Amino acid sequence: MTQPAQPAEEQPAGDQPDGAHPLGLLPGRQGGLTAGEVAERVARGEVNDVPVRSSRSTREIVRANVFTRFNAIIGVMFAIILVVGPLQDGLFGLVIVANTAIGIIQELRAKKTLDSLALIGEARPQVRRDGVAQQVAVGEIVLDDTVLLGIGDKVIVDGGITEADGLEIDESLLTGEPDPVLKRPGDPVMSGSFVVAGAGAFTATKVGREAYAAQLAEEASRFTLVKSELRSGIDSILRFITWLLVPTAIGLIISQLAVEGRDWREAVRRMIAGIVPMVPEGLVLLTSVAFAIGVVRLGRRQCLVQELPAIEGLARVDTVCLDKTGTLTEGGMDVVDLRIIEAGEAGGPDEAGGPDDGARKETVRQALGVMAGADARPNPSMQAVLDAYGDGSGERRDGWRVIEAMPFSSARKWSGVQLLEPRGDEASWLLGAPDVLLPSGHPALSEVDDLGAQGLRVLLLGRTPVPLDAPDPAAGLRPLALVVLRQRLREDAAETLRYFEGQRVEAKVISGDSAVSVGAVAAHLGLPGADHPVDARTLPAEPQAFADTAERTTVFGRVTPQQKRELVGALQSRGRTVAMTGDGVNDVLALKDADIGVAMGSGSDATKAVAQIVLLNNSFAVMPSVVAEGRRVIGNIERVAGLFLVKTVYSVLLALLVIFTHSPYPFLPRHSTVLSTLTIGVPAFFLALAPNNERARTGFVRRVLRLAVPGGLIAGTATFTAYALARANHATDLKSDTSVATLTLFLVALWVLAIVARPYNWWRLLLIGTMGGAFTLVLTVPWLSDFFQLSLAGTRDPWIGVAIAVAAGLVLEVVWRIVRRRTDD
């Protein structure tokens, strides 16, 4: 016997104690485990010890960022300067502090986020023990526990249903299937799903690491870092430089001691001045800063970057695998059409309609609005009807009144209301599956099949004089209309897919839903190739054929979690850089294996824990911003990396020339600091933040060295030539010789900056001019020239240095054109 419709909070709750579950004290039900049986299982270790994601500890993070090859090189040099002095020669040591702090702060931020994302969350499930329902911690559930379920409860462990009262469970996060599943006693239930209707209980059959969601979490729990070509490239350069440093340092210290005689402190300072510029310390710092600023920019768009190099990874992506549910579609549905069934097709006179089609359609709309308003807990389909035809008047509307209501059930496949109609008639109106409410062979069913083939969902609205509490309320049903629904698409999905297409990034939809439904959604969004969806159950087993299918197909349906992972792997085997988006537990393995994993903020905790990027506002429209930010970072870092490596090359060359000619090293550390700051550090910072939308390519080190090696050789040769000519004129005035060498090197390095900064705009020209003006101040302002020990004597040597720098700049232009032509080819 049905009950009149009423809000959920008005339903009688019975005399249950606070916190008791609806099924907790019902008579005749199993009493669950006893306290003794629970203790026995705890002693045997049959407890739900859910594994926790193992992010690095704070101590490990600090150690990993402090004890690096880069910090070791610069740190030793800085410590030596602190001993020999003066302090202004140790300005380069500040880079250690900045670079280390940025790395530690960002990784601690990621750790805090990761540690807060537990697989199951802070759920407090109810179990029945000794015949009484009680709340326990997730980790206190034991094997064979009777776990109680109510609306909204998460399924914590795997088990088998023992009690069910209209129990419907949403398994979309496990399977990708959007519809809830009706559960009966004996049916299995898996962790990671949750209850959307009814109540029930199940016996825990797999706990701890044996549970389905826990197994996924265990496999996804190991701490990993995104593969970064930038980071590995810079590490390779540092590793090579480290091997160069030892013999170069020994050679420099011997040569400088021999040249300087008894002034060993001056020899050590000039030795350090030769070694420190070899290390591209600014490149490491700038990379960290650029990534960190990218994280802040994306954070303002509600995009959480959990690992810095993930920004770089997205810049290299050429294939994006999308999960339909939660990525292209939202949780709800939309009514896209209302098709009135003609009187002859309906099989009876027009009882509910008016004198024409318009009046009949309006009557149907009103009835649908009243039906939807009478449902206290509308499912997605009924919510779509409510959004389309409801007006907020609830159970009363233009003379309509609800007498009784029967909510939707997966068992009977329809919902209904008994209405008092405006004309005074009383009838039952049913809304549900056409194949259940209509007899076989009805003409409307062919139309339903055609719509279903397009990936649309169709509900039938009918009217019958039979009351709802009759044995068969659908008897005598007169069909009135077909309500056509479509899964609600994200407003930004189509535009985002067009962006990817324009950027030559191929999008593929991989879903656990039916291939027809997935194909229909993708086709509606205009995705190329969506008209040929593939059912994953038909995928070939042979790896080569599997990879061929994965590469040429755009839409996949009925994909299992393992197949999602295999599809990602197959695409990677063909040289693709793959990003995977998803929100469900069924996406975890694929997200873990993808080059970049992107999770929705509303998705499962397990998904967010393994993803490198989380879209906190669930907006797929953020993806173009993420990709654009990655391309800006990687493109600009590659642009300015040449500046840093030019310095490395000319520093090595100068060190070798000094060793072989037994000359004093041309610079002190403070000279290297001012040169690096004005020609590399400051301009590189601004250039690294400029817009850049070019897709990143592999071969970072090779492309950078094409300009850095010849540029460094030209700069080093020009500098040492000017220095040697100046020394020939006044061999005893080392300060003047150093000043000429500094001037020459600054002009050549500024020319390199002018090449890297192309194409020009107003702010880039202003940047180059400002750096030139700043160096002029260093030379002309007395206290600055005294601080940096710079003094140009006479006019001959300085102008010779300028002439040599101009000649070197012209050679640089020729080399640049050759390098650019080869790069373009």
Cis omega (within 30 of 0) on the bond before 561? no
Q: Answer whether 767's CB lies under 8 Å from 686's CB.
A: yes
Distance CA 699, CA 156 (A): 47
Residue (of 264, 461, 296) closest to 367 by Cα position: 461
The two tokens of residue 251 are 């050679």
Q: Facing residues of 556 across strands?
A: 510, 534
Specify the 3-state DSSP secondary structure of 605. helix
Residue (of 568, 382, 586, 352) closest to 479 by Cα position: 352
Long-range contact set of residues 397-403: C-beta below 8 Å, sequence gap at least 24: 397/366, 397/369, 397/370, 397/373, 398/366, 398/422, 400/366, 400/367, 400/370, 402/4, 402/5, 402/370, 402/374, 403/4
**Per-residue DSSP letter, 395:** T
Distance CA 217, CA 80 (A): 49
Specify the 3-state DSSP secondary structure of 614. strand
Concatenated DSSP letters of 75-103? HHHHHHHHHH--GGGGGGGHHHHHHHHHH
Q: Is 350 exposed, middle or buried, given 0-12, 13-18 or 19+ CB atoms closer than 10 A?
A: middle
Q: Is 662 exposed, middle or buried, given 0-12, 13-18 or 19+ CB atoms closer than 10 A?
A: exposed
Q: Facing residues of 189 across strands?
A: 159
Task: Count Cβ atoms below 10 Å from residue 538 Cβ, excluding itself.
Answer: 9
Query: Quick one: how many helices (H) and strands (E) in the chain?
Result: 29, 22
Cis omega (within 30 of 0) on the bond before 465? no
Specify the 3-state DSSP secondary structure of 498. helix
* Amino acid at position 770, single letter: T
The two tokens of residue 37 are 């049986």
Cα 306–chain centre separation = 8
The two tokens of residue 335 are 């009514």
Q: Facing residues of 489 across strands?
A: 329
Task: Write out 213-251 in H/E/C secondary structure.
Answer: HHHHHHHHCECCCCCCHHHHHHHHHHHHHHHHHHHHHHH
Specify the 3-state DSSP secondary structure of 372. helix
Answer yes or no: 391 catalytic.
no
Residue (of 728, 723, 729, 708) closest to 805 by Cα position: 723
* Amino acid at position 332, single letter: G
Q: Is 620 exposed, middle or buried, given 0-12, 13-18 or 19+ CB atoms closer than 10 A?
A: buried
Q: At a CB cut-off of 8 Å and minimum separation 6, what does 623 contact?
A: 320, 496, 499, 500, 581, 598, 615
Q: At a CB cut-off of 8 Å and minimum separation 6, what does 795 contact?
A: none
Task: Count Cβ atoms below 10 Å from residue 151 Cβ, excluding itself.
Answer: 15
Task: Indicate which residue of 145, 153, 158, 323 is catalytic.
Answer: 323
Specify the 3-state DSSP secondary structure of 377. coil
Active-site residue list: 323
